[in-house]
Structure 1
Amino acid sequence: MPSLSVLLPMMPTRHEQILSFAALVQWTSAVRLWQGQALSLDPHHSFVFAAGAGFRVPMGTGVTLMPLRHPHDAAVHARSVAVASGHPFVAGIGPGGIDFQRNIAGAAYGSQLKAVREYVTAMRGLLDGEEVDLDGEHFTAHDVLPPLPTPPVEIGLGVLRPAMARLAGEIADVAITWLTPASYIRDVIVPAMEEGAKQAGRPLPRLVAMVPMFVAQPDRDPTRIVLQSNAGHLMLPHYVDMLTRSGIEIDPQQPVETVKRLISGGAFLTGDPEEIGRQMGEFHAAGVEEVVINLTGVAGSYGPQAALSEIETILGQAAL
């Protein structure tokens, strides 16, 4: 069984909403608290708030979107969380969708891979205390951060397809997947990462999978929960392409059939707690070191307290 972590299953509108999930990580076998990109409150600020409230646990972003923040600012935010929490921080980043890039930056990146490479180069150099001198096609950075004793910051890349997986193998500390079946990770993501790592002559990055799931109950509607969790992702071309590559056909005109395919294809886990535990074990067999329990569908359908209780159930089953 891989290490298990927890994704904050909603976008908080008050910092206090993170505290019960941070406490869960502090008091259970969960190894890290994660947040995705939030639109109301900055996730780094919520993390620091939790640490200031006494919940100093390992944390990570999976992922924040590059168009919203210059790599200098990303490095400062990541380092700030590491200092506040007293633990290594995983700064997961991703370029976001093409339309999002246009809406925020005025134009899409000419090359997604080159933009990510430039971003990581600048961010890594700043975090390592180097004087960065970068005039890239997408990012410019001529700066150095003042020295500050801090736990390490790992840079993670959101990875869905082979090209980004190869880049992660070459330059990242962590590769982070979302909605990716274990079989696709085993057959596509891991070999591409191995290729990139071998080319760069470096160890394979740690692999983290954000895995959406819910405990099946007679009164629960799978379509409602799955779409509450990932309806937006299923409209994005890079997610549709990844799922198609994994053998899962996405048809917006047939949501019920699409949800059935996501579940049967292993992109979205469900069953009783024992069955979910078995399915999470498949991710470990595929090369995943850390599975992140993603109950955004449960929180969106039944509230954060229901998600909190369900996370405890899943963690408890995994400990047996």
Structure 2
Amino acid sequence: MKIGLGIGITGGGTLHEAIRAIQRAEEQGFAAAWLPNIFGLDAIITLAVAGRETDRIELGTFVVPTYPRHPAALAQQALTASDAARGRFTLGIGLSHQVVIEGMFGLDYSRPVRHMREYLQVLVPLLEGKPVQFRGEEYRVQAQISIPGAPRPSVVVAALGPQMLKVAGRLADGTATWMGGPGYLRDRAIPLIREAAAAAGRPAPRVVSGFPVAVTDQPQAARESAAKVFAVYGTLPSYRAVLDVEGAATPADVAIVGSAEEVEAQVRNLAAIGVTDFNASPFPVEGDPGAVGRTIELLASLARQGV
């Protein structure tokens, strides 16, 4: 399992700060840096810049919402970023949420599974340099993107429910999960996406799983801090559904917290159940100012060792 570091999930920053954080992650030995695309920096542009400022680390979006960007436009951006990063760019995409797509952007969110299925049928061939002639219910596209020498990026889809996991398995390279605990991953997500990929004759899918993480000797304080920092995720229907599968009352219940030994054991358990890429988001613990530093130190050590 590759161990990556989530950059900026607990708060925004400047472009310079994000690039420097990614450079530090590379220096520390992390396999990947994952950047969210919420209401701050554009993740693809940021990672394209980071691709010119780093040498080894994988650079992935976690994740870019599909609705605001036509798949041809996203393919063009992703291939440009892949070229800038010399093949180290991974495109994570997702639906976002109804409250954002309809409530903020004024777009139709009524058929999300159909939307993602058609989106991938346009996006993936364009990333592969193929001409696309597609006529669906939502997209009607005749296009081709040509960026000589730009490697085709890996595509992972934020897929939590069964239908989306099946779409991701059939049409993408894997999934990106957030707030799905080990039970949900082991018993639902991983078997479903593997079965769908196998049925489509595709390679075993990547499972990029994000978790809040804190190495601390104050686990109760860490849970309380996680409950505050990540509270919004317990209110969004897609995350609420996977928390319910896990039997988790709040996002704090799926956070990975404890001593260095306890956190390491939980990370190794994720590798054992089939997670291929771990996206760790260290978060501050009230009353324990050293928690973030210890968390990054442990995770960087595990990344260098290989899990």
Q: TM-score, normalised by structure 2?
A: 0.89
Could you tell me how far 1:71 is from its partner in structure 2? Answer: 0.9
Give the AA of the match of 2:210. Answer: M
Q: Does 1:16 align with 2:16?
A: yes
RMSD (Å) for aligned C-alpha atoms: 2.6
Greater mean alpha carbon deviation, residues 219-228 or residues 269-278: 219-228
Q: Does 1:186 align with 2:186?
A: yes
- 1:218 to 1:194, Cα distance in 2 relative to 1, 3 A: closer
In structure 2, stretches of 5+ residues that fail to align are: none
- Identity across the alignment (%): 24
Give the AA of the match of 1:39. Answer: F
Give the AA of the match of 1:313. Answer: L
> Retained in 2: the 8 A contact 1:165–1:175?
yes
In structure 1, stretches of 5+ residues that fail to align are: 251-257
Distance 1:136 1:219 in 2: 50
Greater mean alpha carbon deviation, residues 279-288 or residues 3-12: 3-12
Write out aligned runs for 1:212-227 (5 A).
212-218=212-218, 221-227=221-227
Aligned to 2:278: 291
Write out aligned runs for 1:4-153 (5 A).
4-10=3-9, 11-54=11-54, 57-153=57-153
Corresponding residue SS for 2:133: strand
Could you tell me how far 1:139 is from its partner in structure 2? Answer: 2.8
Distance 2:128 2:96 in 1: 25
Greater mean alpha carbon deviation, residues 173-182 or residues 215-224: 215-224
- 1:173 to 1:302, Cα distance in 2 relative to 1, 3 A: farther
**Number of residues of Structure 1 aligned to a counterpart in Structure 2:** 304
Give the AA of the match of 2:198. Answer: K
> Retained in 1: the 8 A contact 2:209–2:279?
yes
- 1:301 to 1:110, Cα distance in 2 relative to 1, 3 A: farther
Q: TM-score, normalised by structure 1?
A: 0.86
- 1:244 to 1:54, Cα distance in 2 relative to 1, 3 A: closer
Q: Does 1:315 align with 2:304?
A: no
* Cα deviation 1:214-270 (Å, max 9, x = unaligned): 11244983244213442121110111111112222x3xxxxxxx46xx43xxx2110
Write out aligned runs for 1:249-264 (5 A).
250=249, 258=250, 262-263=252-253
* Cα deviation 1:124-176 (Å, max 9, x = unaligned): 11111111122322233221112421123111100212221122111111211
Give the AA of the match of 1:160. Answer: L
